[in-house]
Amino acid sequence: MPRIAYFGPSGTFTEMALARFESAGAFEGQVERVAAPSQGAALDLIRAGEVEGAVVPIESSVEGSIAATLDSLALGARLQIVAETELEVTFSILARPGTERADVRLLAAYPVAAGQVREWVARELPDAAYYTSTSNAAAAEDVQAGKADAAVSTVLAGERLGLATLAAGVADHDQAVTRFVLVTAPRTAPPATGADRTSVVLELTNEPGSLMRAFAEFSTRGIDLTRIESRPTRTGMGAYRFYLDCVGHIDDSAVAEALKALHRSAPRIRYLGSWPAFAKPGAPPPPDTDAALWLSQLRKGVADR
C-alpha cells in the first residue's frame, strides 16, 4: 500500500486533490494518506524515504505561486513532479454550533485563504481579526479547540469536525483555481501525451541579457513558456531564482535540446519533471521526426534534395 504525504491536516484542499489523484488511478491499489504540517514537510518525507509520494499545492490563480512549495522543490535533494490536478477553490466559514456571524471577533485562516476572502470578510465580518492557522483544515481545528471564533476552511473539514457552516462557497474572485502536483523521487517521466508540461528551476549569472538568452532557448525552438516566476534566492537584494514551466515533454526533442542548452549556459538548472497537463497548456513544440530522419540520412550520405 503506497504511502502518500499531503499538506494536511485532514480536510485541506490538498487532501481533496489527493483524493482526485486516487480516483484518477494515479496509484496502484489503496493509498495510505500521511498528513504533513507544511508543504516542505510533505516533500521532506519523500526525501527521508518515509513516503512514496506527496501532494502539494503549487499555484493559485489568485495568489500566484505557492512560495513554500517552490522553495522546497528548488532546495534539498531533487524531487520530481509526475502529475497535476486543479480544484476550484471556494471556502466554508465554519464555527462551533451556536455561533452567530455577529459573534466572530477572531477568524482563523491560512494566509493564502485569507487573501482570497479578504473582501468578503471586510463586508460580512467587519469586526473580525485574523488568527494565523497553518492550513485550511487547521483553521477548523483551531476553532474546535477554542482558539478562534470562526474559520475560513473547507467543506470536508466542517464535516469531519462537526462544525456549523456560517457561509458556504465564499470567494472574492470567481473561478479561483488552485493547481496541485503529485511529487515523487526522481524517476523516468510518464510518457509524453502531446499535452504535457515541463518545469525547471534556473539560477543565472548576473549579466545583462542572461535571462533573455535563457528564454530564447525556448522561444527559438518554438516552445511556449507558460509560467515565469522569480523568487529571491535570499542571498541579497536582486538575486533571483526562476521557475519556468513550458509546454512539452523531456522526450520532445525541442525540449530536450533546450534543457541541454540551458545546462551548458546556466550556472544552475534543476529539472522538476515532465507530466500530462490538467488542461491543454498551449501548442506543443514542433515535432522532430522529419528533421531527424533528414539528418540521419545526411550523415549516412544518402542523396536527397
Of residues 219-278, those binding a copy of itself (CB under 8 A): 219-232, 234, 236-238, 240, 242, 250-251, 253, 256-257, 259-261, 263-264, 268, 270-271
Mention every residue, 6+ apart, whose C-beta is less than 8 A from residue 120.
Answer: 167, 170, 171, 172
Interface residue with a copy of itself among 120, 147, 155, 159 (CB under 8 A) is 147
Instruction: Pull the grid cell for residue 162.
Output: 462537526
Closest to 246 (Cα-Cα) out of 235, 234, 259, 236:
259
Q: Give the residue with the Cβ less far from a copy of itself, 33 or 210.
A: 210
User: Whole-number minimum distance, CB 160 to a copy of itself, in Å?
Assistant: 21
| 58 close to 27: Cβ distance less than 8 angstroms | no
Q: How far is the CB of 41 from a copy of itself (least distance, A)?
A: 12
Closer CB to a copy of itself, 32 or 220, in the complex: 220
Q: Largest Cα–Cα distance in the chain?
A: 85
Beta carbon of residue 297, minimum distance to a copy of itself (angstroms, whole number): 9
Identify whether the C-beta of residue 103 lies closer than 8 Å to the C-beta of residue 194.
no
Name which of 178, 185, 17, 182 is nearest 83 in CA terms. 182
Q: Please report how close the Cβ of residue 26 comes to a copy of itself at its closest, in angstroms.
A: 17
Are residues 224 and 247 in contact, defined by beta-carbon separation less than 8 angstroms? yes
Three cell numbers written together for 91: 471556502
282 binds a copy of itself (CB under 8 A): yes
Nearer to a copy of itself, 166 or 189 (CB): 189
CA distance 6 to 161: 19
Cβ atoms of 240 and 268 within 8 Å: the answer is no
Residue 276 Cβ vs a copy of itself, minimum distance, rounded to whole Å: 16
Does position 294 interact with a copy of itself (CB under 8 A)? The reply is yes
Whether a cis peptide bond, with omega within 30° of 0, leads into 9 is yes
Considering the complex, what minimum distance in angstroms separates the CB of residue 22 from a copy of itself?
Answer: 23
Q: How far is the CB of 180 from a copy of itself (least distance, A)?
A: 12
Query: By C-beta, is 169 or 280 nearer to a copy of itself?
Result: 280
> Residue 301, exposed/middle/buried by CB under 10 A (0-12, 13-18, 19+)?
exposed
String marking each residue 127-146 x if it binds a copy of itself according to CB under 8 A? --xxxx---------x----
**169-228 binders of a copy of itself (CB under 8 A):** 173, 175, 177, 179, 185-189, 208-209, 211-213, 215-228
Sheet holding 196-203, edge to edge: 225-232, 240-247, 196-203, 268-276
Q: Report the site for a copy of itself in 7-36 (rule: CB under 8 A).
A: none
Q: How far is the CB of 235 from a copy of itself (least distance, A)?
A: 8
Nearer to a copy of itself by C-beta: 61 or 99? 61
Among positions 2, 27, 86, 96, the unique one binding a copy of itself when judged by CB under 8 A: 86
